[in-house]
Amino acid sequence: MKEKNMNSLQRKLFKLQDLKYKDFHSNLMPGIDKETIIGIRTPALRKFAKEFAKTEAAEAFLKELPHQYYEENNLHMMLISDIKDYECCLAEVKRFLPYINNWATCDIPRPKCFAKNKIELLPVIKEWIASGDTYTIRYGIGTLMSFYLDEDFKLEYIELVASVQSEEYYVNMMIAWYLATALAKQWDATIPYLEERKLSPWVHRRTIQKAVESYRITDEQKVYLKTLRENC
């Protein structure tokens, strides 16, 4: 896009452009038009977001959907994640989810205020997981992984994720990521899903792969997991 056609925010974002990073990152984003990727390293965008959040322009930006550039979407999610009021934050997340079109925007760390409102958030997570939309499902599973695998864990949460049936790569990758993390944090509750072959063959294999690669899984557990690869 020629500079004269850019708005003031886009001009500021392009000043942060790193063309080598654009080429590298574009390869990680199949299906996303390279021309919609500016090429901004995440630390630089986070630093920009922190300052931009203090301006009146930030509030107006959150109302301007859809955005043109991938980094605008990431900026949007970063701004939402820093909203301290739970109800306001949740409303903004719900409004933005239909516009997410890639895994990286979807996986930006969840709002901190979610951690203080886990009881209220849980029914919403279940709605997201049941939505049928690729990145809404992924966001829901990722949120469940972020906040409900420690002291708030319940066996039903693993069942909720394991029961998701999808042909979408980015949904199944998140299921595997969730289960690999669950193996690290809740081994006894999670391992039966592999032992009893309750998962699709692809998710089964990818869960084991991710778990074996994890530093949070013991060497003994990794040896056992490798035996569960057979015949699947």
Closest by Cα among 136, 139, 137, 150 to 110: 139
Average pLDDT of the chain to the nearest whole number = 95
Buried b (16+ CB within 10 A) or exposed e, 196-232: eeebbeebbbbbbebbbeeeebeeebeeebeebeeee
Q: How far apart are CA 124 and CA 223, in angstroms?
A: 37
pTM of the model: 0.94
Per-residue CA distances from 146 to 8, 40, 74, 116 (Å): 35, 25, 19, 13
pLDDT value of residue 104: 96
- Between these two residues, 31 and 2, which has the higher pLDDT value? 31
Give the span between the Cα atoms of 200 and 198, in whole angstroms.
7
pLDDT of residue 107: 97
Q: Any idea where the domains of the chain sit in the sequence?
A: 3-166
| Tens digit of each residue's pLDDT (9 = 90 or more) over 37-89 | 999 999 999 999 999 999 999 999 999 999 999 999 999 999 999 999 999 99
Based on its alpha-carbon atoms, the radius of gyration of the chain, rounded to whole angstroms, reads 19
Residue 43, preceding peptide bond in cis (omega within 30° of 0): no
